[in-house]
Structures are given as C-alpha cells and as structure tokens.
Structure 1
C-alpha cells in the first residue's frame, strides 16, 4: 500500500497478488480496480477532475446521505463523495486480499448541510473479487432518512455490446419520464436509460463480449441502471463526446421505495460484491 497524490488529491494504491486498486481519500472513492492479467473492471473518464471539492467521474462514487435529488436541501447525491475520509485500518497480511477501512464522521461542515450526528464506515476488500461495505450508524437522538448508492461505473467494450440480466419482471421507475413499468427480458441499450429497479433480491449479471460480471447486493432492494447516451453525455462535466460508449452504471442502492429510516443508535449496511 502506498500513498500518492494526483493534483491535490491524495489516494491509496493497493497492489497484491490478485489485483490492484486506487482509492482517493476524498469520498473514499475507488477509481481503479483491476484483477491481475485482466482489463480494468471500473471505468474512469480520461478528463475526470482530480480536484478538491469536485467528484471524480468514474469508479465508485459514494452517494450519501441522499441519492439523486431526493433531499432538496443537499446537492445531488449528497456530500460524502466530496468530503475527506480517514483511513483507519489497512490489513495486507493476506497476499491475495487487502482490506481497508475508511471513516467519515459528522463535523461542523456536514452539520451545516445535514444536522445529524453519524459515523459512516466504508470497508473495501481488494482481491479476486471487489467487496464494498458501507455501514451507516445513527449517533444522533433523532431518526434520519437515508437514501444512498454505490454508483459503480463498469468499463465495457461498447454500450451496444452489453446486456444486463437478473432484473427481468422487476418494477422500475423511469427517471426520464417518471413513469413506472415492469422490465421485459434483459436490458440492452440503444438510447439514454435511467431507471431505478425495486424489489431486487437476486444477483445481477453484466454480460459483455469477453467477460461476465456478477453483482451481489445485500442491505438493498433497489438497483439503478444508467447510461447518458449521446446528447446528455455531450452536456456533462468531465465527459468526452463518446464516453457514453465506454461504460454502464449499475448502482447498488437504497433509493425511492427502498429508502431507510435509521433510528438512534441503529445502523444499516449496504454491501456489494463484484466478481
């Protein structure tokens, strides 16, 4: 494990016999994961900002304590992805698995945005699988409502080559039209797509030309699937005109119907395993 800096952002680089990863301390943001002798699993924009106060475009942004525009008092996707986290533990005793724990606690800065006392732990295991666990603890005297997501950008050969299986017959909210539908068959792409699936309790499989990725979630019954396609991609920050071809977002979430109310002294764990 090494500490390095891109521009002003410090990050942790992990190298073991199974995989490599890079995690920025701002946002506890995983922006690279690659198994040995394979292509990177995560997509990272070639023109992504690595600046304090700006979210990295790609990897796995942590949307917390609000997903999307769920809380009008907060910026889109909350504040955790642009705040500094503390690395509190790093275990590299196993040559094939590295385990790191990052912590974010309430501060004067966070309470000015969201007036609750909390502790969030992000536990990452880097090996032949990438395991991510986001634990929220309510340390306040009042309950709070939590929506969140591990906003994972998967690198793909081309958006037109892929399909997503495991969401068949699931209800989803189309965020582009605000209409609800049920999924028919596998998901494929030929236009902008932004959907929040509900009642998801099984594994999801991303099928590409040369590999399949299994996504297994717990503490979650909602999954977000997103690709901006041509026009929206051209308008977005830290994207190139054809970036939309290179990734798909499949996000492990607690969103919309799957929001969670966390009582004082209780916790909630959102976990995903990518293999």
Structure 2
C-alpha cells in the first residue's frame, strides 16, 4: 500500500515523506512546498538547485513554491516578492490513501503579522494528489462581505537535462509580456531558449509540453488562462541566491498562474481552485 510519514530535515524543516508503489515524493510544511516527485520507474519530475541549503525562512529554490496572494512584486515595494505563503509554516490537515494514490491537504492560517500584507478574511488550501502523476491545487475562499482580488502562481521548476535541447510547445494563439514590455503575440506554437526568458503568458491554452532529451513532460492547468515561462540564463544566474551559476542549463520554470487580466476576483463566499497536472507523457 505504501507509507506517508513525517520527518525533519537536518536543518530543522519538517516534511512529509511519501513512498508508494506509484511514486516517491516529499512535501515540506514550510510553504507546503513539494521539492521531490518521482513516478516509479521514471525520472524525477521536479528540479531543485544543489546550492539550496534548506534554511528555515527561505523558500526552497526548486520544486513548486507557492506564490500567494500576489505574484511578483506587490504594489507596496516593502512587501515580500511573490507574497508570503512560500516561507510560512502550513498545517497538514489530512492524509488519505486510495488504491495507492495519496491525497494531502494543507492549510495556511494568516497570522497577525501577515495581516499587514493581507488584511482580508480568506482561507487558502493546497491539495496534492500523488500517483504516477502529480496534481497540485491552490484553493481560495473569500469569507469577507466584499470582493477580494489576488494573483498567484504554482512556480514549478522542471529538470530538462540541457536547455539547448529544450523546446516548449503549446503556446499558439497566446500573447506575452517580457521584461515589462508587450504584450507581444506568440509567433508559432513553440519556444526555444537562447537567452534569458521571462515571459508572462495570457490567453493561453490549458496544455503545454516540455520536449527534453529525457522525454516529454506534459503540464496541464485548470482555472488558469495564464502561465509563466522562465529561465534566468547566464548573467542572472550569477546574481540569484541559492542558485549555481550553471543551474540555468538544467532547469526551466513553467508556472500555472492567475496573473494580469487573469487575476482572481472573488465575490463574498466564492471559491476558486487553480490546478496544475504534471506527468511524463513519453
């Protein structure tokens, strides 16, 4: 049947360890951040920099950090980039196993300190379904008597072996903003990588693929018409924290998102679920 246990990293961070006939995975309480997912008999589907030392208070440089309740910089420049959820301790509310599939539910309580950033009465949950594929859902519910708007992303880092041999496809018909310029229409269906790439896509179809030397990774989204495609390339890699100068060669981020005109606006008592589904297609 498999096992789901809790343990502690050498640096003190607690995590959930999943080991079933279908997959091996690890999810940290800090940020409810999954940093490892390996379907049995296949290669891992998530990437983490070997420069990351898993220090409490720092989001892990890899896996799937949760950007919430805003993506990128806030309107207030003193607020943390990509929100505060990725560095807070979440609560593991439930663990269920059904036919070797594991379901995990995490919740985040907004602290008094964090109310300076987010004074709204909302609840947020992160749901994992772990089998031979990985599904992650970010659930927001507005408990206020007024509308609340937010942006968010599941900032997924993928292992791609060699950036020079990577082609990302499934972008036909979309538009993107890059380096604060645009929007530009996407030319063709695919993207190759020869420089720093930092594209925020909108009007995007639900499925993209990463064609790597190790196979094709399929990335599907639900309740999302936007996504982020990112590789820091050479110069920026030298400035990033917890990131080796040559890490850009072996990773790419393709992030399910609700950003720009795709932001989430919740009426009182309304909920929204952003989901990403990840698997080796071939």
TM-score, normalisation: structure 1? 0.96
Could you tell me how far apart the structure 2 residues matched to 1:112 and 1:197 are?
Answer: 30
Instruction: Give the match for residue 251 of structure 2.
Output: 247
SS of aligned partner of 1:57: coil
Instruction: Give the match for residue 87 of structure 1.
Output: 92
Instruction: Give the match for residue 264 of structure 2.
Output: 260
Could you tell me how far apart the structure 1 residues matched to 2:174 and 2:195 are?
Answer: 20
Q: Is the 8 A contact 1:105 1:118 kept in 2?
A: no
Instruction: Give the match for residue 42 of structure 1.
Output: 46
- TM-fit CA distance, 1:177: 4.5
Instruction: Give the match for residue 58 of structure 2.
Output: 54
- TM-fit CA distance, 1:82: 0.6
Could you tell me how far apart the structure 1 residues matched to 2:207 and 2:57 are?
Answer: 34
Instruction: Give the match for residue 79 of structure 2.
Output: 74
- TM-fit CA distance, 1:37: 2.0
Q: Is the 8 A contact 1:66 1:74 kept in 2?
A: no
For structure 1, the 5+ residue unaligned runs are none
Q: Is the 8 A contact 2:227 2:257 kept in 1?
A: yes
For structure 2, the 5+ residue unaligned runs are none
Q: Is the 8 A contact 1:43 1:153 kept in 2?
A: yes
Deviations 1:67-102 (A, max 9, x none): 00143253110011011110011012422x111000
Matched, 1:5 2:11: no
Could you tell me how far apart the structure 2 residues matched to 1:5 and 1:45 are?
Answer: 19
- TM-fit CA distance, 1:168: 1.9
TM-score, normalisation: structure 2? 0.94
Matched, 1:178 2:173: no
SS of aligned partner of 1:187: strand
Q: CA RMSD of the aligned region, Å?
A: 1.2
Could you tell me how far apart the structure 2 residues matched to 1:209 and 1:45 are?
Answer: 19
SS of aligned partner of 1:249: strand
Q: Is the 8 A contact 2:23 2:132 kept in 1?
A: yes
Q: Is the 8 A contact 1:106 1:116 kept in 2?
A: no
Q: Is the 8 A contact 2:206 2:225 kept in 1?
A: no
With over 3 angstroms needed to count, the CA separation of the structure-2 counterparts of 1:155 and 1:64, relative to structure 1, is same
Matched, 1:17 2:21: yes
Count of aligned pairs between the two proteins: 273
Instruction: Give the match for residue 123 of structure 2.
Output: 119
Could you tell me how far apart the structure 1 residues matched to 2:107 and 2:94 are?
Answer: 9
Q: After the TM superposition, which residues 183-222 of structure 1 pair with which residues of structure 2 at under 5 Å, given as runs?
A: 183-185=186-188, 186-222=190-226
Matched, 1:63 2:63: no
Q: Is the 8 A contact 2:173 2:204 kept in 1?
A: no
